[in-house]
Amino acid sequence: MIALMQAFLVIAVVVGLHVPLGDHLARQLDGGRHLKIERTLYRVCGIDPDREQDWRHYLLALLAFTVMSIAVLFALLVGQGHLPWSRGIGGMPWRTALHTAVSFTTNTSWQNYVPETGTGHFAVMAGLGVQAFASAAVGICAALALIRGLVRHGTDELGNFWVDLIRTIGRVLVPLAVVAGLLLIALGVEQNLGGSHTVTTLTGGQQTLIGGPVGSWESVKLFSGDGGGFFNASSAHPFENPNAASNLIEIVLMLLIPTAFIRTFGRMVGSLKQSWTLLAVVGILFGLLLAAASLAQHSTHSPVAAAVGGQYEGTETRFGIPGTTLFGISATGSADGAGGGSYDSFSSLGGGVLLAAMMLGEIAPGGTGSGLYGLLIAVLIAVFIGGLMVGRTPEYLRKRIGLGEMRYVVMYALVAPTVILVCSAVSVGLGQDGAADMGNPGPHGLTELIYAYTSNTQSNGSAMSGFNGATDFHNGLMVVAMLLGRYVPIAFVLALAGKLARQRPGVVTAGTLRASGVNFVTLATGAALILALLNFLPALALGPLAEGLR
Amino acid sequence: MNRLPVWLSQHLAALRVVLVLTLTTGLLYPLGMTALAHVPGLAAPAQGSGLKGPDGSMVGSSLIGQAFTDGKGNALPQYFQSRPSAAGSGDGYDPTASGASNLGAQSVVDTLETNNDPKTFKPSLLTQVCARSAAVGALEHVDGSRPYCTADGVGAVLGVYYDGGTGGTATKVVSLDQACPAKPFLTEYQGLPVSCATPGEGYSGAVTVPIRGDAPAHPVVPPDAVTASGSGLDPQISPAYAALQVPRIAGRRHTSEQNVRALVAEYTTGRALGILGDPGVNVLELNLALDRSYPNQGA
């Protein structure tokens, strides 16, 4: 009952806020004048903001920004020992630094280091913090280009990457970060530049408390889809998430932008009916995931859970089991991946649902921007299949979905399963340490490994933290998984956008499949579920299903 | 500007954008937030919600839990006890090593101690739960038994060998978490005698069979008293665990249980908005208040 009321409260707040925020996003990001300060910035950076790019140049700019982001972040991490506010922490070893630089640039934020002893405040603020903003904006840029591809006709131009990037960060993300950050600080999240200080406890022992700019980090890390922890325990740490009220705000923040961006899509294509249709699909998927996880977390089927009397291991008292489950589904249904408890200690099937939420392609509601383009891919597949089934022309928003378009759609859909399954298999087969990297025995160890590569490929970053990824082997393989899992899909999305934008407008005839209404929502939801989960059923059967159904 | 090839000019623009973002979102934003956090109302939480002891010196943070033990893992009976913690070694609650046990439902078989080296002992989650429950039961003088736990406080898990691998007729039965010379919790299983486990011996060929036993489904010792939190720094315990500790505290501090209960109520937080989270009792704040109101006059 409590669980249900918590879920309704979160959904009500997110749906309520998504309307004004989505409209705001559409107003700020879709055309309009440049601000004076933005013009100055474009001049300083040598950018012509009024020249639009075709899909190849848009992609080139996006990749150039990515390369430079990785390079600068890598340099900051390796050299942090020479930077101020570093708490005496030395430079990161280069392999870890490379993994971390790629991890935060790709919006993944899987951490193969212990933040308490691995990163100083400067690296967090000026390194990881910048990429939290930037990586979120990159996802939104790719989504904006795809929307323009659907809206525009007979053109190569998809917008200007730099303008999209700067506007997203300056007009949307920074103001939101300030508001949400202050709210979290008021609720108890710390915000200072102090280092660690040791106190003598009540019993005469010693305890070393770590200060830091946590509030400014916490807000960004949640709404950007970044999700990395300022502390090892991430958002289960009391300094990151001090009480049940902050837990609610953090869950809302994770879901907010991806949900609002669906509204932005509706505004930009001039059909709010479309955005409500997509929101219905997302709502159903999120509801299914949450219901499945809640049931699994409620059961005391396993001997450990029966001995304890519930899934309390790895759960904070102040959140309770329902609050932790809701956090977990929000972190994996979005691309955020923050930890609100120990996902490794979730029930077997509960952890399996978290894994399935990521395998679904993170479209419920997914990452910032990436959630929307992932969702549109699922919709296009539904349109295509639906069109074939009833013998009508596959069309979406007056664009024909022909062979050329479907080629990109299908290739997009194949990337994640291929990368996840191949990397997991390579890791099982070639990982020098074999089962030693797994923190748990039996099928759960395999679940941890598949979870790790799913999380890295899907830019999620949540972890079953018993798994030890901090080896040269995993650092290297995860870098490959993250880069392929993030940029190959983006390339296909932009190519698809370019192809769609070149089309002349079609005519809506009686022969066109209507992309709204109950039938279409059912079709799209089904297509998303079947498409994603069938790929992964064998892997799920060997991992979470094997452990949970015995 | 058009003299440069486009790929090069884009990389140069990219580098400049990254640097501008580093200055603005990377320094201006967090430092500005730090400055804003000095306004009244935000200052106390922003500085880490510190708590002062009776002599005015800082003793910790109201958000970060502490272990109330003697440093060797033994509970100090004059204080309310926190939850078990996986943060750091020893008694846990080390804020420089926050984290969870990350052990899951499959964790029921111990790696037993070999060569008299305690470091080789890796208890399963089940055994940790059973051991904590037995210890709390002993400390509070209540029944510490739990389902799937032996009376001596380890997991009640049998390793059964079958002549057909995973099926067929049972040939040998071992109590996997009871190191020899412990007396197995069952004398026989499927007509076969149950033996204790020999440390160092691999029992991977056996089928693990957890045994429910006859402990009550709702044990006296509450769930949070036998599980580690996600951060290892949980500042709270459940009201049920606090209530269990009240008689011991009252006895130690020579006051009535009613007085202690009143103090517990004062440091209990209910659900936010009536539906969010679980009720909890802040242990450090409660123990500080105990020292103020009912000082411990020594054992």
Greatest mean pLDDT among A262-266, B5-9, B55-59 lies in A262-266
Instruction: For chain B, positions 89-148, list CB contacts with chain A under 8 A.
Output: 93-109, 125-126, 129-130, 133, 146-148
ipTM associated with this complex: 0.95
At A400-415, the pLDDT tens digits run: 999 999 999 999 999 9
Domain boundary among B181, B210, B239: B210
Question: Are residue B249 and residue B203 in the same domain, yes or no?
Answer: no
Confidence of residue A512 (pLDDT cuts 50, 70, 90): confident
Do residues B58 and B204 both lie within one domain?
no
Looking at the fold, whether B237 and B195 belong to one and the same domain comes out as no
For chain A, which residues make up each domain, given as ranges?
Answer: 2-548
Mean residue pLDDT of chain A comes to 94
Q: Which of residues 5-34 of A touch B (CB under 8 A)?
A: 5-6, 9
> Nearest 5°: CA angle at A205, between A203 and A208?
125
Residue B180 included in any domain: yes
Angstrom distance (rounded) from CA A10 to CA A31: 32
- Calculated CA dihedral for residues A350, A351, A354, A359, nearest 10 degrees: -120
H-only helix segments in A391-464: 403-430, 443-457
CB proximity list for B170: less than 8 A, separation 6 or greater? B160, B161, B162, B189, B190, B191, B192
Is B98 in Cβ contact with A116 (below 8 Å)? yes
Chain B residue whose CA is closest to A313: B227
**Contacting residues of B for A247, CB less than 8 Å apart:** 276-277
> Residue B113 domain-assigned?
no
Q: Is residue B223 part of a domain?
A: no
Higher model confidence: residue A339 or residue A389? Answer: A339
Is B136 a member of any domain? no
Chain A nearest-CA residue for B110: A441
Structure confidence by residue, pLDDT tens digits, A243-285: 999 999 999 999 999 999 999 999 999 999 999 999 999 999 9
> Which one-letter DSSP state was computed for residue A129?
I
The answer to whether residue A79 neighbours chain B at the CB level (below 8 Å) is no
pLDDT of A100 over the 60 cut = yes
Q: Which domain holds residue B270?
A: 50-101+230-299
Chain A interface disruption, residue of B278, B282, B291, most A CBs within 10 A: B278
pLDDT for B106:
86
Q: Is the pLDDT of residue A140 over 90?
A: yes
Whether residue B238 is found in the same domain as residue B288: yes
Q: Tokens 């954008």 identify what position?
A: B17
Could you say which DSSP state residue B2 is in?
Answer: T
Residues B297 and B259 in one domain: yes
Strands lying side by side in the sheet with B268-269? B236-237, B280-282, B268-269
- Residue B283 domain-assigned? yes
Q: Are residues B86 and B58 in the same domain?
A: yes
- Start-to-end CA distance of chain A, whole Å, equals 28
- Would you say residue B145 lies in a domain? no
Contacts of B107 in chain A (CB under 8 A): 304, 440-441, 444
Confidence of residue B213 (pLDDT cuts 50, 70, 90): very high
Residues 6 or more apart whose Cβ sits within 8 Å of residue A292: A349, A353
Single residue among B144, B179, B210 that ends a domain in this structure: B210
Contacts of A62 in chain B (CB under 8 A): none
Q: Is A453 in the B-facing interface, judged by CB distances under 8 Å?
A: no
Nearest-neighbour CA in chain B from A382: distance (Å): 37
Answer whether residue B205 is part of any domain. yes
- Chain B residues close to A191, C-beta within 8 Å: 33-34, 37, 42, 46
Indicate the number of domains in chain B: 2
Same domain, B206 and B252: no
Residues 49-78 of chain A whose Cβ lies under 8 A from any Cβ of chain B? 57, 60-61, 64-65, 67-69, 72
Q: Concatenated DSSP letters for A241-292?
A: S-SHHHHHHHHHHHHHHHHHHHHHHHHHHT-HHHHHHHHHHHHHHHHHHHHH
